[in-house]
Amino acid sequence: MLGSIGERLEERRIAMFVGRAAELAIVAWLVDPGGALRFVYLAGPRGIGKTQMSARLPADSDPRNAARGLRDFLRAESQRLFASPPDAILDEVLDRTYFRPGAKQRAIADDLGLSYGTYRRYLRTATRRLIDSLWTQERTGGDAGVSAADASPR
């Protein structure tokens, strides 16, 4: 039997994706459920097969695991970025707002002993600094010697 059109298209699509066994094996090893990595970022020029490769990765049946992995990564980056005592409040604001949400923002501000306006300013500052740090790492390959202002998108 020939199968459905969808099945035949899938067979054709798989047959067209050749010569990437080594790359697929490496990426599959990196995202192994028992491994340390929670996600892999595939980057490259258009048309080289990023989408096709990601379609062949071992799929976790629960998409919330990818979200948890991203949250854990961002949480660790926030802790690293705001490790100094003067910046600890920025980490706490991000943590209570995004990483362990539960209360409304006004309640979080009250719990932290901040006015709502100050809380919102800290939240904006922390979010911008986290984004700038991640953007710098993306553009420089993790080189901490480049300032966020130099590498931030314009």
pLDDT digits (tens, 9 = 90+) for 70-113: 788 888 899 999 999 999 999 999 999 998 888 899 999 999 99
Q: What is the DSSP letter of 123?
A: H
Q: Which amino acid is at 82?
A: F
CB atoms inside a 10 Å sphere around CB 26: 12
pLDDT of residue 49: 76
User: What mean pLDDT, rounded, does the chain reach?
Assistant: 76
Confidence of residue 124 (pLDDT cuts 50, 70, 90): very high
Of residues 153 and 95, the one with the higher pLDDT is: 95
**CA torsion 99→105→108→114, rounded to 10°?**
120
**b/e per residue 28-66 (b: at least 16 CB within 10 A):** eeebeeeeeebeeeeeeeeeebeeebeeeeeeeeeeeee
Question: Mean pLDDT, to the nearest integer, of 11-36?
Answer: 66
- 123 pLDDT exceeds 80? yes
Return the closest-CA partner of residue 26 out of 67, 72, 57.
57
CATH 1.10.10.10 in the chain, residue ranges: 64-151
| pLDDT computed for residue 61 by the predictor | 40
pLDDT for residue 15 is more than 80: no
The two structure tokens encoding residue 125: 């500052």
Classify 64-151 by CATH class: mainly alpha
